[in-house]
Structure 1
Amino acid sequence: MELVNREERQRGLRETESESICEVGGWLRFSLSSALEYFSPFAARVAASQDSNRIKFVLGETASPSVPLTIAECDDAQFEYLCRDTCQKNANDLHLLVPNLRSLRSSCGLDNLSPLLAIQLTYFPLGHGFSIGLAYHRVVSDQRTFNYFMHSWASLCKHGELPPGLEPTFDRAVVLDPNGLEPILLNRFWESVPGSIIPAPATMCLGLVRSTFVMGPADIAKAQQWILAECERKNRPYPVLLSPYVVTCAFIWACLVRAQSEGLAQTRIPKGPMYFGFIAGGITRLRYRVPGNYFGNCVAFGRAIAQREELLGNDGVLVAADAIGQAIKKLNRDVLDEAGNWISDWEPIVGSDLHVNMVGSPKVDLYEVDFGWGKPKKIEENSIDVMRGISLTESREVKGGIEIGMALPKSTMDAFSCLFTRGLLDFSF
């Protein structure tokens, strides 16, 4: 979801003192239609069939190409509140700004087709701004593809033309499946218990608050240096990877496990393995070349494992960094090696209050999407409260920084905030 300030206008759009809702909506609708001519699968419908073990896109006589578009208006006072990083927001507030999509399980057969993309434009009157709420099925695209689509839509709105190099290619034959993973994953999808992969929103968001935290380049560098110094001081091997992603995730994981444990008696703290699940880019990890503008979903699932008692110890950040680095290294060696287990590995993590589900990537530059009104004031990943996840995106204000989106019970959020702030000052765990 993107929140855009209408006062941050750029050249190319008509300047008037009385720019109306209809005028803004007209620009966005017209450019969306143009963008869908290039990214036509988003305008298709999905048909899922358990009998034939297939999920297919339908576009033609059976389903005319279209994207459901909702126009709404919100209390104007909410705009600045929703854009703030420094306050805790009710998790349910943002769901009013995003449309709903039916699940794949409810899209069985040609008589029960579901859209692949839905959009809601919500206006905040008196010139404050508007939000673009987006919901799409991951079966049609990953975040890399969706990022291309958003940049193309924005460029068509602002400039009337597509940026060079963003026109997608739809040749699915470029992604090979020599191990026959397609039927294995489809079978496991249909065999999974409903709600175990994507929980129902109504049951997941009650009592949660959302906050955004930022790690700047200086914070990340300090954390890297601290980890290396601690390894030398304790005569232990360095983690196999210490990228900004690994360092940020390790710090978040250690803070969160400790925050979850605060207020619990020592005897009530559950022991045993903790999982840290994340999505990794697949195109660059395949052993053959796939065009960068390939349209589709080409990602891998990674799962790091560490013992809870170790994450709670003084070496929690080191333990987390080593576990996450090892999981990434395994994907780098052979991205599809354990792909047949991805769904079963995912089920214990999604919706869990104990394990971590990381979504998004700081490499996706959604804050550079400009429809003609400047950068978005705030980008939120709505699914994190439903999925009990944590989102990462590039920072809007700090070049090279990472924004971290959290949705937690208030007591846990307060504890996490204190640990995060204190950890950035001295990394004393």
Structure 2
Amino acid sequence: MADASGINMVTVLKHCRVSPPLDHSVAEQLLHLTFFDIFWLNWPSLSRVFFYDFPCSTTEFMQTIVPHLKKSLASTLKHYYPFCGNLITPTSLSNNITPVIRYLNGDSISLIIAEFSGSASQVFKHLSGDQSRDVDDLLALIPELPRGYTNTCEDDSTLSSPVLSVQVTLFPDQGFSIGFRNSHVIADGRSMSNFIRTWACINAKQLIGVDEYDNTINLPFYDRSLIKDPKGIASIFLREFLRVARENSKALPRGERSKELVQATFKMNRVQIQRLKNLVTARIPYVSTFVVACAYVWSCMAKTRLVLGQEKNDENEVENFVFLMDTRERLDPPIPSNYFGNAAVSCRCSLKSIQLVGEKEGFLNAVKEIKRVLDGKLNNEEVLKGFETVFDVIEASKGQRKFGVAGSPKFDYYSTDFGWGKPIKYEVVSENLD
């Protein structure tokens, strides 16, 4: 994070490694990847940050908050041990190696303890606010994932990569943030949310001297045998991962992260949501808050580009809206809500630019398209229908505009209380790595 003079204002106070309690009865644990997980192998890591309004000094922070967070994190990792492990992926199909998460007794995650040394009051309020903020400033509160390494043994080569890192940053006398960076391969939004909420719950209980919490938290479910793959989707996705990996190895190195990205928060209240619903109820009897909110933003973005003159002359240009749907309850058989890993499928909506920019019809068209795709998934007995061709669809849409959403209100991030109060702000941080 830099001020106007370009001086880095976030200082690392301590770099820790946190591991679960040693279990000498188990030397190694392997968590095999399903096709839901393998789908994300070529995607960049995810970044998120929580802001907590809890004024304290650096001394109090280092002597009380940090030790409690480390202790409770170790207790949490006892149940969420895969986060300490490494993602093991083959370098070619000839290796005959399937990707896994490998945890060895003693493995740990990276925990960075940092401090903001500038005008903490002004910057804390700015970064935890709703107005436009530089993405680079938010990223200063989120750690990088340590680099992986290649392990070669005879003819078999694998890449071993960490899957999670955490950073806690103090803003003296203002509050602190907790930033996470994780590989999407290890967990989807629900699993990641369950992990963070479990850590918060354990920390809050330990603050009041309660160390018995196994019966009060939603422990993860790891049984991969419930995920059926009769179409061999895992093999299809693994070949695609290795194909892209080979192409990337021959390509020129990527440039630096874009310095021009900003991020802002826009809020809609219940009255505004209801007004949006009222605009379409004459033609569509029932429409959810999710559908009207996404349709409104999608159509507004298309209209904004038109006003700014960024739309191409071709009114038939295709624009895509993508969101994820949790399949846990819809698989056959259903899997538990605390299933750990990935269990989401992508839903893609497509319209032509001209269909999105009409004053009222643009919004209505967006609602119809999102509802059509969503209802198709909800009402389809086979929720995975066509999932094996998802990479063909992605390839065919290259060059087209894409807009998507992350997370879900069902995860209730704002109830994540570590014992010092609920967060005043939660952010998924956007990055442009092209």
Same fold (TM over 0.5): yes
Report how many aligned residue pairs link the two structures: 363
Q: 1:24 to 1:269 in 2, by over 3 A?
A: farther
| Matched position secondary structure for 1:97 | coil
For the residues of structure 1 that align with 2:310 and 2:104, how far apart are their CA atoms? 61
1:91 maps to which residue? 135
1:345 partnered with 2:393 = yes
| Matched position secondary structure for 1:114 | strand
Residue 20 (structure 1) aligned to one of 39, 61, 73: 61
Task: Return the TM-score normalized by structure 2.
Answer: 0.77
Task: Return the TM-score normalized by structure 1.
Answer: 0.77
1:40 partnered with 2:81 = yes
Deviation at 1:18, TM superposition (A): 6.1
2:369 maps to which residue? 323
Deviation at 1:176, TM superposition (A): 1.4
Cα contact 2:91–2:158 (8 A) shared by 1: no
1:179 maps to which residue? 231
Cα contact 1:88–1:210 (8 A) shared by 2: yes
Deviation at 1:174, TM superposition (A): 1.4
Letter in 2 for 1:321: V
For the residues of structure 2 that align with 1:123 and 1:346, how far apart are their CA atoms? 41
Cα contact 1:46–1:113 (8 A) shared by 2: yes
Deviation at 1:261, TM superposition (A): 1.9
Deviation at 1:50, TM superposition (A): 3.3
2:99 maps to which residue? 55
Letter in 2 for 1:45: N
2:160 maps to which residue? 113
1:296 maps to which residue? 341
2:414 maps to which residue? 367
Deviation at 1:202, TM superposition (A): 5.9
Q: Matches of residues 119-130 of structure 1 in structure 2 within 5 Å? A: 119-125=166-172, 127-130=173-176
Q: 1:265 to 1:118 in 2, by over 3 A?
A: closer
Deviation at 1:21, TM superposition (A): 2.5
Residue 307 (structure 1) aligned to one of 324, 341, 352: 352
Q: 1:115 to 1:19 in 2, by over 3 A?
A: same
1:252 maps to which residue? 297
| Matched position secondary structure for 1:159 | helix
* Unmatched tracts of structure 1, length 5 or more: 9-15, 232-237, 389-429
Q: 1:142 to 1:107 in 2, by over 3 A?
A: farther
2:276 maps to which residue? 223
2:425 maps to which residue? 378
Deviations 1:66-107 (A, max 9, x none): 00111111131311110111x211121101111112688x76
Letter in 2 for 1:44: G
Moved more, 278-287 or 372-381: 278-287
Moved more, 24-33 or 213-222: 213-222
Q: 1:162 to 1:373 in 2, by over 3 A?
A: farther
Residue 402 (structure 2) aligned to one of 351, 355, 372: 355
| Matched position secondary structure for 1:226 | helix
For the residues of structure 1 that align with 2:268 and 2:281, how far apart are their CA atoms? 18
Q: Matches of residues 151-166 of structure 1 in structure 2 within 5 Å? A: 151-160=197-206, 161-162=213-214, 164-166=216-218
| Matched position secondary structure for 1:327 | helix
| Matched position secondary structure for 2:167 | strand
2:330 maps to which residue? 285
| Matched position secondary structure for 1:284 | coil
Q: Quick one: percent identity of the two aligned structures?
A: 27
Cα contact 1:47–1:108 (8 A) shared by 2: no
Q: Matches of residues 228-239 of structure 1 in structure 2 within 5 Å? A: 228-229=281-282, 231=283, 238=284
For the residues of structure 2 that align with 1:53 and 1:324, how far apart are their CA atoms? 39
For the residues of structure 1 that align with 2:370 and 2:433, how far apart are their CA atoms? 20
| Matched position secondary structure for 1:185 | helix
Q: Superposition RMSD on alpha carbons, in Å?
A: 2.8
Letter in 2 for 1:308: S
Deviation at 1:54, TM superposition (A): 2.5
Cα contact 1:152–1:163 (8 A) shared by 2: no
Cα contact 1:4–1:376 (8 A) shared by 2: yes
